[in-house]
Amino acid sequence: AQKVTRAQTEISVVEKEDVTLDCVYETRDTTYYLFWYKQPPSGELVFLIRRNSFDEQNEISGRYSWNFQKSTSSFNFTITASQVVDSAVYFCALSTYGQNFVFGPGTRLSVLP
């Protein structure tokens, strides 16, 4: 069975702090894809990243970085120097060939000024 869990339900940080959101997944497939989405208070779901299981390189995009570790089945997301606009619910998702996306339960991040 495919599954995505998170370590934290809610995280609260002060602006400019670094914060890491954890994503742990479970699948028996060797080929799979991992995603992160952001849902700000306005409600829309914004795509952030897609990563396949054969590419274990960490990725950096501005203040965002992702750490993929196959050995621990984790795909963690770090925001460096957090800003108030980063406040949102963040979802990790898993997809495998022919199967529906499985979304994790989401982590609510609050960045305080």
Partner 1 sequence: DSGVTQTPKHLITATGQRVTLRCSPRSGDLSVYWYQQSLDQGLQFLIQYYNGEERAKGNILERFSAQQFPDLHSELNLSSLELGDSALYFCASSVDEQGSNTDTQYFGPGTRLTVL
- Beta pairing class for 64-69 and 74-79: antiparallel
Among 19, 75, 95, 109, binds partner 1 (CB under 8 A): 95
Among 25, 35, 68, 90, binds partner 1 (CB under 8 A): 35
Shortest CA distance to 21 belongs to which of 73, 89, 85, 83? 89
Q: How far is the CB of 56 from partner 1 (least distance, A)?
A: 17
43 makes contact with partner 1 (CB under 8 A): yes
91 makes contact with partner 1 (CB under 8 A): yes
Shorter beta-carbon distance to partner 1: residue 15 or 29? 29
Q: How far is the CB of 1 from partner 1 (least distance, A)?
A: 14
1-34: b (≥16 Cβ within 10 Å) or e: ebebebeeeebebeeeeebebbbbbebeeeebbb
Q: Which residue has the tokens 């002060």?
A: 14
41 makes contact with partner 1 (CB under 8 A): no
User: What's the one-letter identity of residue 25?
Assistant: Y
Residues that bind partner 1 (CB under 8 A): 32-33, 35, 37, 43-47, 50, 91, 95-101, 103-106
